[in-house]
Structure 1
Amino acid sequence: MLTAQPFSRSMLLTLAVCTMASAGLSGHTPHAMAMHQHHHLTFTMPTPPSDPGAPTGRREGGSSRGDKIYTLCKTEAEAANKQCATSRLTALVPEIDAEKQIWGLTTADHPEFLFYLSKFRTPEQPQTTRLNIEFVLQDENDQYVHKTRFALPLTEGGIIRIPIPANRDPLQVGKRYTWTLLTKFGPNETNYVHGRIYRVQMDTQRQQQLPTASPLKRLEIYLEEGLWFDAISMLVDLKQDAPQDLTLISKWNSLLDNINLKELATEPMLSCCTPEPHLSLK
Protein backbone atom coordinates (compact mmCIF):
# COMPACT_ATOMS: atom_id res chain seq x y z
CA MET A 1 0.00 0.00 0.00
CA LEU A 2 1.24 3.47 -0.86
CA THR A 3 1.54 6.08 1.87
CA ALA A 4 2.42 9.77 1.71
CA GLN A 5 5.90 9.95 3.27
CA PRO A 6 8.47 12.78 3.09
CA PHE A 7 11.69 12.40 1.15
CA SER A 8 14.48 11.08 3.33
CA ARG A 9 16.40 14.24 2.51
CA SER A 10 13.46 16.28 3.87
CA MET A 11 12.78 17.78 0.47
CA LEU A 12 10.38 20.62 1.19
CA LEU A 13 8.80 23.21 -0.99
CA THR A 14 8.33 26.34 1.09
CA LEU A 15 5.12 28.11 0.21
CA ALA A 16 6.17 31.69 0.93
CA VAL A 17 3.06 33.82 1.09
CA CYS A 18 3.33 37.21 -0.57
CA THR A 19 0.71 39.16 1.35
CA MET A 20 2.29 42.52 0.59
CA ALA A 21 2.28 41.86 -3.16
CA SER A 22 -1.37 40.83 -3.11
CA ALA A 23 -2.34 43.92 -1.13
CA GLY A 24 -0.25 46.22 -3.32
CA LEU A 25 2.04 47.18 -0.41
CA SER A 26 5.76 47.92 -0.48
CA GLY A 27 8.42 47.70 2.20
CA HIS A 28 8.83 45.20 5.02
CA THR A 29 6.79 46.74 7.81
CA PRO A 30 6.42 44.84 11.12
CA HIS A 31 2.75 44.25 10.35
CA ALA A 32 3.54 42.86 6.90
CA MET A 33 6.24 40.59 8.31
CA ALA A 34 3.82 39.28 10.92
CA MET A 35 1.24 38.59 8.21
CA HIS A 36 3.90 36.77 6.18
CA GLN A 37 4.70 34.48 9.10
CA HIS A 38 1.03 33.88 9.79
CA HIS A 39 0.40 32.75 6.21
CA HIS A 40 3.44 30.49 5.90
CA LEU A 41 2.74 26.93 4.72
CA THR A 42 5.01 24.02 3.83
CA PHE A 43 4.30 21.42 1.16
CA THR A 44 6.09 18.12 1.86
CA MET A 45 7.09 16.34 -1.31
CA PRO A 46 6.01 12.69 -1.08
CA THR A 47 8.30 9.78 -1.77
CA PRO A 48 8.04 8.66 -5.41
CA PRO A 49 6.03 5.43 -5.54
CA SER A 50 7.88 2.29 -6.54
CA ASP A 51 6.27 1.86 -9.94
CA PRO A 52 8.67 0.50 -12.59
CA GLY A 53 7.57 1.22 -16.12
CA ALA A 54 5.12 3.97 -15.18
CA PRO A 55 4.79 6.75 -17.80
CA THR A 56 6.84 9.89 -17.14
CA GLY A 57 4.05 12.32 -18.00
CA ARG A 58 3.86 15.78 -19.51
CA ARG A 59 2.75 18.97 -17.74
CA GLU A 60 3.01 21.46 -20.60
CA GLY A 61 1.27 20.78 -23.89
CA GLY A 62 2.56 21.76 -27.28
CA SER A 63 1.36 21.51 -30.84
CA SER A 64 1.98 17.98 -32.03
CA ARG A 65 2.47 17.55 -35.77
CA GLY A 66 3.84 14.18 -36.73
CA ASP A 67 6.90 13.50 -34.57
CA LYS A 68 7.47 17.18 -33.72
CA ILE A 69 6.27 19.04 -30.65
CA TYR A 70 6.04 22.83 -30.95
CA THR A 71 6.01 25.30 -28.05
CA LEU A 72 3.61 28.24 -27.72
CA CYS A 73 3.82 30.97 -30.37
CA LYS A 74 5.53 34.21 -29.37
CA THR A 75 5.03 36.25 -32.55
CA GLU A 76 2.51 36.44 -35.38
CA ALA A 77 5.27 35.47 -37.82
CA GLU A 78 5.81 32.19 -35.95
CA ALA A 79 2.09 31.53 -35.97
CA ALA A 80 1.87 32.25 -39.70
CA ASN A 81 4.70 29.82 -40.43
CA LYS A 82 2.99 27.17 -38.27
CA GLN A 83 6.20 26.50 -36.40
CA CYS A 84 4.62 26.83 -32.97
CA ALA A 85 1.46 26.08 -31.00
CA THR A 86 -1.30 28.70 -31.10
CA SER A 87 -2.89 27.40 -27.90
CA ARG A 88 -1.41 26.71 -24.47
CA LEU A 89 -2.40 23.77 -22.31
CA THR A 90 -0.91 23.33 -18.83
CA ALA A 91 -1.76 20.85 -16.08
CA LEU A 92 -1.72 22.44 -12.62
CA VAL A 93 0.53 19.82 -11.06
CA PRO A 94 4.16 19.83 -9.88
CA GLU A 95 7.06 18.56 -11.91
CA ILE A 96 8.47 16.40 -9.17
CA ASP A 97 12.09 15.88 -10.11
CA ALA A 98 14.81 16.46 -12.71
CA GLU A 99 13.19 13.91 -15.02
CA LYS A 100 10.01 16.00 -14.95
CA GLN A 101 7.85 13.12 -13.82
CA ILE A 102 4.23 14.21 -13.49
CA TRP A 103 2.38 12.50 -10.64
CA GLY A 104 0.63 13.26 -7.39
CA LEU A 105 -1.25 11.79 -4.44
CA THR A 106 -4.87 11.99 -3.31
CA THR A 107 -7.08 10.48 -0.64
CA ALA A 108 -10.23 11.22 -2.69
CA ASP A 109 -12.18 8.38 -4.26
CA HIS A 110 -13.36 10.81 -6.96
CA PRO A 111 -10.67 13.50 -7.31
CA GLU A 112 -10.64 16.44 -9.68
CA PHE A 113 -8.05 17.83 -12.07
CA LEU A 114 -7.19 21.42 -12.95
CA PHE A 115 -5.86 22.70 -16.27
CA TYR A 116 -5.04 26.06 -17.83
CA LEU A 117 -5.94 26.80 -21.44
CA SER A 118 -5.24 29.83 -23.61
CA LYS A 119 -4.66 30.78 -27.21
CA PHE A 120 -2.28 32.99 -29.15
CA ARG A 121 -4.22 35.65 -31.04
CA THR A 122 -3.61 36.49 -34.67
CA PRO A 123 -5.65 38.79 -36.94
CA GLU A 124 -7.06 35.72 -38.68
CA GLN A 125 -8.35 34.10 -35.51
CA PRO A 126 -11.85 34.88 -34.19
CA GLN A 127 -12.27 36.39 -30.76
CA THR A 128 -13.94 33.23 -29.51
CA THR A 129 -12.70 29.78 -30.37
CA ARG A 130 -14.69 26.61 -29.81
CA LEU A 131 -12.00 24.38 -28.36
CA ASN A 132 -12.78 20.67 -28.48
CA ILE A 133 -11.44 18.78 -25.47
CA GLU A 134 -11.24 15.16 -24.36
CA PHE A 135 -10.32 13.97 -20.87
CA VAL A 136 -9.70 10.35 -19.91
CA LEU A 137 -8.71 8.57 -16.71
CA GLN A 138 -7.40 5.01 -17.06
CA ASP A 139 -6.39 2.31 -14.60
CA GLU A 140 -3.21 0.23 -14.63
CA ASN A 141 -4.71 -2.05 -17.29
CA ASP A 142 -5.55 0.94 -19.53
CA GLN A 143 -9.26 0.47 -18.88
CA TYR A 144 -11.31 3.66 -18.80
CA VAL A 145 -12.42 4.82 -15.37
CA HIS A 146 -13.81 8.01 -16.86
CA LYS A 147 -13.93 9.50 -20.34
CA THR A 148 -15.60 12.74 -21.35
CA ARG A 149 -15.63 15.10 -24.33
CA PHE A 150 -16.77 18.70 -24.32
CA ALA A 151 -16.33 22.00 -26.14
CA LEU A 152 -15.06 25.12 -24.40
CA PRO A 153 -15.94 28.52 -25.92
CA LEU A 154 -12.52 30.03 -25.31
CA THR A 155 -12.52 33.82 -25.33
CA GLU A 156 -9.66 34.37 -22.91
CA GLY A 157 -7.29 32.09 -21.08
CA GLY A 158 -8.42 30.50 -17.85
CA ILE A 159 -8.44 27.50 -15.55
CA ILE A 160 -10.92 24.64 -15.75
CA ARG A 161 -11.80 21.96 -13.20
CA ILE A 162 -12.63 18.44 -14.30
CA PRO A 163 -14.02 16.23 -11.51
CA ILE A 164 -14.45 12.49 -11.69
CA PRO A 165 -18.24 12.01 -11.34
CA ALA A 166 -19.54 10.23 -8.26
CA ASN A 167 -21.28 7.62 -10.43
CA ARG A 168 -17.91 6.34 -11.71
CA ASP A 169 -15.98 3.58 -9.97
CA PRO A 170 -13.97 5.04 -7.08
CA LEU A 171 -10.19 5.06 -7.22
CA GLN A 172 -8.67 2.18 -5.28
CA VAL A 173 -6.08 2.76 -2.58
CA GLY A 174 -2.55 1.85 -3.66
CA LYS A 175 -3.35 1.83 -7.39
CA ARG A 176 -1.94 3.96 -10.18
CA TYR A 177 -4.22 5.83 -12.58
CA THR A 178 -3.20 7.78 -15.67
CA TRP A 179 -4.98 10.96 -16.78
CA THR A 180 -4.80 12.65 -20.17
CA LEU A 181 -6.29 15.90 -21.46
CA LEU A 182 -6.32 16.31 -25.24
CA THR A 183 -7.36 19.36 -27.23
CA LYS A 184 -7.81 19.89 -30.95
CA PHE A 185 -7.23 23.56 -31.62
CA GLY A 186 -7.13 23.16 -35.39
CA PRO A 187 -7.01 20.51 -38.12
CA ASN A 188 -3.24 20.08 -37.69
CA GLU A 189 -2.74 21.14 -34.10
CA THR A 190 -3.16 18.67 -31.26
CA ASN A 191 -2.29 19.53 -27.66
CA TYR A 192 -2.10 17.08 -24.79
CA VAL A 193 -0.87 16.69 -21.22
CA HIS A 194 -0.85 13.57 -19.09
CA GLY A 195 0.34 12.26 -15.75
CA ARG A 196 -0.30 9.82 -12.90
CA ILE A 197 -2.35 9.93 -9.75
CA TYR A 198 -2.24 7.49 -6.83
CA ARG A 199 -4.89 7.15 -4.16
CA VAL A 200 -3.38 6.66 -0.69
CA GLN A 201 -4.66 6.16 2.85
CA MET A 202 -3.84 8.96 5.24
CA ASP A 203 -2.31 8.09 8.59
CA THR A 204 -5.11 7.31 11.08
CA GLN A 205 -3.99 9.91 13.61
CA ARG A 206 -3.86 12.64 10.97
CA GLN A 207 -7.18 11.56 9.51
CA GLN A 208 -8.83 11.93 12.91
CA GLN A 209 -7.75 15.58 13.01
CA LEU A 210 -9.70 16.52 9.88
CA PRO A 211 -13.34 16.60 11.13
CA THR A 212 -12.63 19.19 13.84
CA ALA A 213 -9.96 21.17 11.95
CA SER A 214 -10.70 24.56 10.42
CA PRO A 215 -10.60 24.75 6.61
CA LEU A 216 -7.15 26.36 6.64
CA LYS A 217 -5.88 23.75 9.10
CA ARG A 218 -7.18 20.97 6.82
CA LEU A 219 -5.36 22.63 3.92
CA GLU A 220 -2.18 22.67 5.99
CA ILE A 221 -2.57 18.96 6.79
CA TYR A 222 -3.03 18.09 3.11
CA LEU A 223 0.11 20.04 2.19
CA GLU A 224 2.16 18.46 4.98
CA GLU A 225 1.04 14.99 3.90
CA GLY A 226 1.99 15.65 0.28
CA LEU A 227 -1.60 15.33 -0.97
CA TRP A 228 -1.36 17.68 -3.94
CA PHE A 229 -4.75 17.02 -5.52
CA ASP A 230 -6.61 17.35 -2.21
CA ALA A 231 -4.83 20.58 -1.32
CA ILE A 232 -5.26 22.43 -4.60
CA SER A 233 -8.93 21.45 -4.92
CA MET A 234 -9.66 22.64 -1.41
CA LEU A 235 -7.85 25.93 -1.91
CA VAL A 236 -9.77 26.61 -5.12
CA ASP A 237 -13.04 25.92 -3.26
CA LEU A 238 -12.07 28.34 -0.51
CA LYS A 239 -11.07 31.02 -3.05
CA GLN A 240 -14.31 30.71 -4.95
CA ASP A 241 -16.32 31.09 -1.73
CA ALA A 242 -14.33 34.18 -0.74
CA PRO A 243 -12.75 35.65 -3.90
CA GLN A 244 -11.64 38.89 -2.17
CA ASP A 245 -9.91 37.19 0.78
CA LEU A 246 -6.30 38.39 0.66
CA THR A 247 -5.09 35.48 2.77
CA LEU A 248 -6.45 32.95 0.29
CA ILE A 249 -5.18 34.95 -2.67
CA SER A 250 -1.72 34.96 -1.13
CA LYS A 251 -1.79 31.22 -0.51
CA TRP A 252 -2.91 30.59 -4.09
CA ASN A 253 -0.17 32.82 -5.50
CA SER A 254 2.41 31.09 -3.37
CA LEU A 255 1.24 27.59 -4.21
CA LEU A 256 1.52 28.18 -7.96
CA ASP A 257 4.79 30.08 -7.57
CA ASN A 258 6.37 27.07 -5.90
CA ILE A 259 5.53 24.77 -8.82
CA ASN A 260 6.86 27.41 -11.25
CA LEU A 261 3.45 28.43 -12.56
CA LYS A 262 3.19 31.83 -10.86
CA GLU A 263 2.13 33.46 -14.14
CA LEU A 264 -1.18 31.58 -13.87
CA ALA A 265 -2.07 32.82 -10.37
CA THR A 266 -4.26 35.68 -11.64
CA GLU A 267 -6.02 33.68 -14.35
CA PRO A 268 -9.81 33.33 -13.94
CA MET A 269 -11.71 30.13 -13.36
CA LEU A 270 -13.78 29.23 -16.43
CA SER A 271 -17.22 27.65 -16.40
CA CYS A 272 -16.85 24.14 -17.70
CA CYS A 273 -17.63 21.42 -18.82
CA THR A 274 -20.88 19.99 -20.23
CA PRO A 275 -20.24 16.54 -21.76
CA GLU A 276 -20.82 16.16 -25.49
CA PRO A 277 -20.47 12.39 -26.10
CA HIS A 278 -20.70 12.65 -29.90
CA LEU A 279 -18.06 15.36 -30.20
CA SER A 280 -15.22 14.37 -32.51
CA LEU A 281 -11.58 15.37 -32.07
CA LYS A 282 -10.54 13.96 -35.44
Structure 2
Amino acid sequence: MLTDQPFSRSMLLTLAVVTVASAGLSGRTPHVMAMHQHNPMTFTMPTPPSDPGAPTGRREGGSSRGDKIYTLCKTVEEAANKQCATSRLTALVPEVDAEKQIWGLTGADHPEFLFYLSKFRTPEQPKTTHLNIEFVLQDEDDKYVHKTSFVLPLTEGGIIRIPIPENRDPLQVGKRYTWTLLTKFGPNETNYVHGRIYRKQMDTQRQQELQTASPLKRLEISLKEGLWFDAIAMLVDLKQDAPQDLTILSRWNSLLDDINLKELATEPMLSCCTPDPHLSFK
Protein backbone atom coordinates (compact mmCIF):
# COMPACT_ATOMS: atom_id res chain seq x y z
CA MET A 1 0.00 0.00 0.00
CA LEU A 2 1.26 3.49 -0.82
CA THR A 3 0.55 6.33 1.54
CA ASP A 4 1.23 10.05 1.49
CA GLN A 5 4.41 9.38 3.47
CA PRO A 6 7.69 8.61 1.69
CA PHE A 7 8.74 5.02 1.36
CA SER A 8 11.07 4.05 4.18
CA ARG A 9 13.69 1.46 3.38
CA SER A 10 11.98 -0.92 5.76
CA MET A 11 8.89 -0.83 3.54
CA LEU A 12 10.78 -2.35 0.61
CA LEU A 13 10.84 -6.12 0.64
CA THR A 14 14.26 -6.71 -0.82
CA LEU A 15 16.98 -4.81 0.93
CA ALA A 16 20.59 -5.84 0.96
CA VAL A 17 23.97 -4.38 1.77
CA VAL A 18 26.05 -3.71 -1.31
CA THR A 19 29.66 -4.49 -0.48
CA VAL A 20 31.19 -4.35 -3.92
CA ALA A 21 34.28 -2.13 -3.85
CA SER A 22 34.40 0.55 -6.50
CA ALA A 23 36.36 3.61 -7.42
CA GLY A 24 33.06 5.48 -7.63
CA LEU A 25 30.99 6.80 -10.50
CA SER A 26 33.91 8.41 -12.30
CA GLY A 27 35.71 5.09 -12.83
CA ARG A 28 34.47 1.68 -13.82
CA THR A 29 35.53 -1.90 -14.21
CA PRO A 30 33.71 -3.28 -17.26
CA HIS A 31 31.14 -6.00 -16.70
CA VAL A 32 29.96 -6.97 -20.17
CA MET A 33 26.36 -8.15 -20.31
CA ALA A 34 27.03 -10.08 -23.52
CA MET A 35 30.17 -11.66 -24.92
CA HIS A 36 30.33 -9.54 -28.08
CA GLN A 37 33.19 -7.35 -26.84
CA HIS A 38 34.13 -6.36 -30.39
CA ASN A 39 30.70 -4.79 -30.94
CA PRO A 40 30.69 -1.06 -30.07
CA MET A 41 26.94 -1.25 -29.58
CA THR A 42 27.13 -3.84 -26.79
CA PHE A 43 26.16 -2.45 -23.41
CA THR A 44 28.97 -2.44 -20.85
CA MET A 45 27.76 -2.55 -17.25
CA PRO A 46 29.95 -0.63 -14.80
CA THR A 47 30.81 -1.94 -11.36
CA PRO A 48 28.22 -0.73 -8.81
CA PRO A 49 29.34 2.29 -6.79
CA SER A 50 30.21 1.58 -3.19
CA ASP A 51 26.91 2.21 -1.43
CA PRO A 52 26.45 0.26 1.82
CA GLY A 53 22.81 -0.08 2.83
CA ALA A 54 21.41 0.46 -0.66
CA PRO A 55 18.44 -1.71 -1.66
CA THR A 56 19.20 -4.57 -4.02
CA GLY A 57 16.02 -3.88 -5.97
CA ARG A 58 13.47 -5.90 -7.90
CA ARG A 59 13.19 -6.01 -11.69
CA GLU A 60 10.29 -8.42 -12.09
CA GLY A 61 7.10 -7.66 -10.23
CA GLY A 62 4.82 -10.27 -8.75
CA SER A 63 1.48 -10.05 -7.03
CA SER A 64 1.92 -9.34 -3.34
CA ARG A 65 -0.77 -10.55 -0.95
CA GLY A 66 0.32 -10.35 2.64
CA ASP A 67 3.74 -11.95 2.94
CA LYS A 68 3.40 -14.03 -0.25
CA ILE A 69 4.70 -13.08 -3.69
CA TYR A 70 3.05 -14.68 -6.72
CA THR A 71 4.45 -14.94 -10.24
CA LEU A 72 2.48 -14.37 -13.45
CA CYS A 73 -0.43 -16.74 -14.11
CA LYS A 74 0.14 -19.44 -16.72
CA THR A 75 -3.26 -21.14 -16.76
CA VAL A 76 -6.90 -20.23 -16.23
CA GLU A 77 -6.98 -22.62 -13.27
CA GLU A 78 -4.14 -20.77 -11.54
CA ALA A 79 -5.90 -17.47 -12.08
CA ALA A 80 -9.18 -18.86 -10.73
CA ASN A 81 -7.44 -20.12 -7.59
CA LYS A 82 -5.75 -16.73 -7.10
CA GLN A 83 -2.37 -18.39 -6.69
CA CYS A 84 -0.62 -16.18 -9.24
CA ALA A 85 -0.36 -12.60 -10.52
CA THR A 86 -2.78 -11.63 -13.28
CA SER A 87 -0.54 -8.80 -14.50
CA ARG A 88 3.15 -8.74 -15.45
CA LEU A 89 5.32 -5.78 -14.52
CA THR A 90 8.97 -5.65 -15.61
CA ALA A 91 11.45 -2.79 -15.32
CA LEU A 92 13.63 -2.45 -18.43
CA VAL A 93 16.88 -2.30 -16.50
CA PRO A 94 19.87 -4.61 -16.06
CA GLU A 95 19.88 -7.30 -13.39
CA VAL A 96 23.49 -7.47 -12.27
CA ASP A 97 25.56 -10.27 -10.78
CA ALA A 98 24.47 -13.08 -8.47
CA GLU A 99 22.86 -10.61 -6.06
CA LYS A 100 20.61 -9.42 -8.91
CA GLN A 101 21.20 -5.78 -8.12
CA ILE A 102 18.79 -3.47 -9.95
CA TRP A 103 20.58 -0.22 -10.69
CA GLY A 104 21.94 1.91 -13.50
CA LEU A 105 23.68 5.14 -14.46
CA THR A 106 22.51 8.25 -16.26
CA GLY A 107 24.25 11.37 -17.48
CA ALA A 108 20.95 13.26 -17.57
CA ASP A 109 19.66 15.59 -14.91
CA HIS A 110 16.09 14.52 -15.73
CA PRO A 111 16.20 10.88 -16.93
CA GLU A 112 13.32 8.66 -17.93
CA PHE A 113 12.31 5.12 -17.00
CA LEU A 114 10.80 2.31 -19.06
CA PHE A 115 8.53 -0.51 -17.89
CA TYR A 116 6.70 -3.40 -19.52
CA LEU A 117 3.14 -4.25 -18.47
CA SER A 118 0.81 -7.01 -19.57
CA LYS A 119 -2.08 -9.00 -18.16
CA PHE A 120 -3.32 -12.58 -18.09
CA ARG A 121 -6.83 -12.64 -19.48
CA THR A 122 -9.55 -15.13 -18.72
CA PRO A 123 -12.91 -15.37 -20.53
CA GLU A 124 -14.55 -13.62 -17.57
CA GLN A 125 -12.25 -10.60 -17.71
CA PRO A 126 -13.00 -7.51 -19.82
CA LYS A 127 -10.72 -6.84 -22.77
CA THR A 128 -9.53 -3.53 -21.35
CA THR A 129 -8.31 -3.20 -17.79
CA HIS A 130 -7.91 0.26 -16.30
CA LEU A 131 -4.71 -0.26 -14.38
CA ASN A 132 -3.91 2.12 -11.52
CA ILE A 133 -0.20 2.97 -11.44
CA GLU A 134 2.02 5.05 -9.17
CA PHE A 135 5.64 6.02 -9.80
CA VAL A 136 7.92 7.67 -7.26
CA LEU A 137 11.55 8.78 -7.33
CA GLN A 138 13.16 9.43 -3.94
CA ASP A 139 16.50 10.71 -2.74
CA GLU A 140 18.77 9.19 -0.11
CA ASP A 141 16.64 10.72 2.66
CA ASP A 142 13.47 9.14 1.20
CA LYS A 143 12.18 12.56 0.14
CA TYR A 144 10.18 12.69 -3.07
CA VAL A 145 11.96 14.05 -6.13
CA HIS A 146 8.98 13.11 -8.27
CA LYS A 147 5.68 11.36 -7.62
CA THR A 148 2.92 10.72 -10.14
CA SER A 149 -0.20 8.56 -10.35
CA PHE A 150 -2.17 7.66 -13.45
CA VAL A 151 -4.61 5.15 -14.94
CA LEU A 152 -3.44 3.08 -17.92
CA PRO A 153 -6.14 1.51 -20.13
CA LEU A 154 -4.36 -1.83 -20.68
CA THR A 155 -5.60 -4.05 -23.49
CA GLU A 156 -2.46 -5.88 -24.58
CA GLY A 157 1.09 -5.89 -23.28
CA GLY A 158 3.38 -3.00 -24.01
CA ILE A 159 6.11 -0.64 -22.83
CA ILE A 160 5.56 2.70 -21.13
CA ARG A 161 8.09 5.47 -20.58
CA ILE A 162 7.98 7.78 -17.58
CA PRO A 163 10.17 10.90 -17.76
CA ILE A 164 11.17 13.06 -14.82
CA PRO A 165 9.69 16.50 -15.64
CA GLU A 166 12.05 19.39 -16.22
CA ASN A 167 10.39 21.38 -13.42
CA ARG A 168 11.61 18.84 -10.83
CA ASP A 169 14.94 19.16 -9.06
CA PRO A 170 17.74 17.75 -11.21
CA LEU A 171 19.55 14.60 -10.11
CA GLN A 172 22.80 15.35 -8.34
CA VAL A 173 26.05 13.67 -9.36
CA GLY A 174 27.12 10.84 -7.05
CA LYS A 175 23.84 10.67 -5.13
CA ARG A 176 21.66 7.60 -4.91
CA TYR A 177 18.04 7.84 -6.02
CA THR A 178 15.50 5.06 -5.63
CA TRP A 179 12.62 4.57 -8.05
CA THR A 180 9.50 2.48 -7.50
CA LEU A 181 6.62 1.66 -9.84
CA LEU A 182 3.54 0.16 -8.20
CA THR A 183 0.37 -1.13 -9.85
CA LYS A 184 -2.97 -1.96 -8.30
CA PHE A 185 -4.49 -4.59 -10.57
CA GLY A 186 -7.26 -5.46 -8.12
CA PRO A 187 -8.33 -4.79 -4.54
CA ASN A 188 -6.04 -7.51 -3.21
CA GLU A 189 -3.32 -7.56 -5.87
CA THR A 190 -0.42 -5.14 -5.57
CA ASN A 191 2.52 -5.41 -7.96
CA TYR A 192 5.76 -3.40 -7.82
CA VAL A 193 9.34 -3.06 -9.05
CA HIS A 194 12.10 -0.83 -7.73
CA GLY A 195 15.77 -0.04 -8.14
CA ARG A 196 18.50 2.59 -7.99
CA ILE A 197 19.79 5.25 -10.34
CA TYR A 198 22.94 7.38 -10.06
CA ARG A 199 23.94 10.36 -12.16
CA LYS A 200 27.47 10.08 -13.55
CA GLN A 201 29.73 13.08 -14.06
CA MET A 202 30.79 13.26 -17.70
CA ASP A 203 34.17 14.80 -18.52
CA THR A 204 34.30 17.86 -20.76
CA GLN A 205 35.46 15.95 -23.83
CA ARG A 206 32.63 13.43 -23.55
CA GLN A 207 30.07 16.18 -23.07
CA GLN A 208 31.29 17.91 -26.24
CA GLU A 209 31.19 14.62 -28.17
CA LEU A 210 27.62 13.97 -27.08
CA GLN A 211 26.53 17.46 -28.12
CA THR A 212 27.96 17.23 -31.63
CA ALA A 213 27.64 13.52 -32.44
CA SER A 214 25.04 11.91 -34.67
CA PRO A 215 22.20 10.03 -32.90
CA LEU A 216 23.82 6.63 -33.42
CA LYS A 217 27.19 7.94 -32.26
CA ARG A 218 25.57 9.37 -29.12
CA LEU A 219 24.07 5.95 -28.52
CA GLU A 220 27.48 4.31 -28.90
CA ILE A 221 29.04 6.76 -26.42
CA SER A 222 26.28 6.16 -23.88
CA LEU A 223 26.71 2.40 -24.15
CA LYS A 224 30.48 2.67 -23.68
CA GLU A 225 30.02 4.92 -20.66
CA GLY A 226 27.56 2.49 -19.10
CA LEU A 227 24.70 5.02 -19.19
CA TRP A 228 21.85 2.53 -19.32
CA PHE A 229 18.94 4.92 -18.86
CA ASP A 230 20.26 7.30 -21.54
CA ALA A 231 20.98 4.54 -24.07
CA ILE A 232 17.57 2.87 -23.88
CA ALA A 233 15.76 6.22 -24.07
CA MET A 234 17.78 7.16 -27.16
CA LEU A 235 16.91 3.88 -28.83
CA VAL A 236 13.20 4.33 -28.15
CA ASP A 237 13.37 7.76 -29.78
CA LEU A 238 15.24 6.35 -32.78
CA LYS A 239 12.71 3.51 -33.15
CA GLN A 240 9.80 5.93 -33.07
CA ASP A 241 11.43 8.21 -35.65
CA ALA A 242 12.31 5.33 -37.98
CA PRO A 243 10.17 2.29 -37.10
CA GLN A 244 11.23 0.34 -40.23
CA ASP A 245 14.97 0.95 -39.91
CA LEU A 246 16.53 -2.51 -39.66
CA THR A 247 19.76 -1.21 -38.13
CA ILE A 248 17.92 0.49 -35.30
CA LEU A 249 15.68 -2.53 -34.76
CA SER A 250 18.77 -4.72 -34.56
CA ARG A 251 20.30 -2.37 -31.95
CA TRP A 252 17.08 -2.54 -29.92
CA ASN A 253 17.02 -6.34 -30.04
CA SER A 254 20.66 -6.54 -29.03
CA LEU A 255 20.25 -4.11 -26.14
CA LEU A 256 17.38 -6.06 -24.59
CA ASP A 257 19.23 -9.31 -25.28
CA ASP A 258 22.20 -7.92 -23.32
CA ILE A 259 20.00 -7.75 -20.20
CA ASN A 260 18.14 -11.03 -20.87
CA LEU A 261 14.85 -9.39 -21.84
CA LYS A 262 14.92 -10.15 -25.56
CA GLU A 263 11.34 -11.46 -25.44
CA LEU A 264 10.18 -7.87 -24.96
CA ALA A 265 11.92 -6.52 -28.08
CA THR A 266 8.79 -6.81 -30.26
CA GLU A 267 6.41 -5.31 -27.70
CA PRO A 268 4.77 -2.02 -28.72
CA MET A 269 5.13 1.32 -26.99
CA LEU A 270 1.95 2.31 -25.19
CA SER A 271 0.59 5.83 -25.04
CA CYS A 272 1.08 6.94 -21.46
CA CYS A 273 0.70 8.70 -19.04
CA THR A 274 -1.63 11.50 -17.95
CA PRO A 275 -1.25 12.18 -14.21
CA ASP A 276 -4.32 11.75 -12.02
CA PRO A 277 -3.77 13.72 -8.79
CA HIS A 278 -6.93 12.28 -7.24
CA LEU A 279 -5.94 8.63 -7.65
CA SER A 280 -5.59 6.87 -4.30
CA PHE A 281 -3.61 3.72 -3.54
CA LYS A 282 -4.82 3.35 0.03
The match for 1:175 is: 175
Say whether the 8 Å CA contact 1:113–1:162 is kept in structure 2. Answer: yes
Please list every run of 5 or more consecutive structure 2 residues that lacks an aligned counterpart in the other structure: 1-22
Write the mapping of 1:1-282 to structure 2, written as runs, cut at 5 A.
2-7=24-29, 10-14=30-34, 41-282=41-282
* TM-score, length-scaled by structure 1: 0.89
Say whether the 8 Å CA contact 1:4–1:227 is kept in structure 2. Answer: no
Deviation at 1:203, TM superposition (A): 2.4
State the secondary structure of the residue aligned to 2:212.
Answer: coil
State the secondary structure of the residue aligned to 1:222.
Answer: helix
Moved over 3 A (4+): 37-40
From the superposition, tell whether residues 233 and 67 of structure 1 become closer, same or farther in structure 2 (CA, over 3 Å).
Answer: same
The match for 1:28 is: none
Deviation at 1:212, TM superposition (A): 2.1
Larger radius of gyration: 1
State the secondary structure of the residue aligned to 1:210.
Answer: helix
Give, as a single letter, the amino acid of the residue that structure 2 aligns with 1:255: L
Q: Percent identity?
A: 85
Please list every run of 5 or more consecutive structure 1 residues that lacks an aligned counterpart in the other structure: 17-36
Deviation at 1:204, TM superposition (A): 2.4
Deviation at 1:5, TM superposition (A): 3.2
From the superposition, tell whether residues 268 and 222 of structure 1 become closer, same or farther in structure 2 (CA, over 3 Å).
Answer: same
The match for 2:7 is: none
The match for 1:32 is: none
Say whether the 8 Å CA contact 2:43–2:258 is kept in structure 1. Answer: no
Say whether the 8 Å CA contact 1:110–1:165 is kept in structure 2. Answer: yes
Deviation at 1:40, TM superposition (A): 5.3
From the superposition, tell whether residues 6 and 38 of structure 1 become closer, same or farther in structure 2 (CA, over 3 Å).
Answer: closer
State the secondary structure of the residue aligned to 2:33.
Answer: strand
Give, in whole Å, the separation in 2 of the partners of 1:245 and 1:214: 16
Instruction: After superposition, give the CA deviation of every residue in 1:43-89 in whole Å (9 maximum; x if it has no partner).
Output: 22112111000011000000000000000000000000000000000
Give, as a single letter, the amino acid of the residue that structure 2 aligns with 1:260: N
Say whether the 8 Å CA contact 1:180–1:194 is kept in structure 2. Answer: yes
Give, as a single letter, the amino acid of the residue that structure 2 aligns with 1:76: V
Deviation at 1:205, TM superposition (A): 2.2
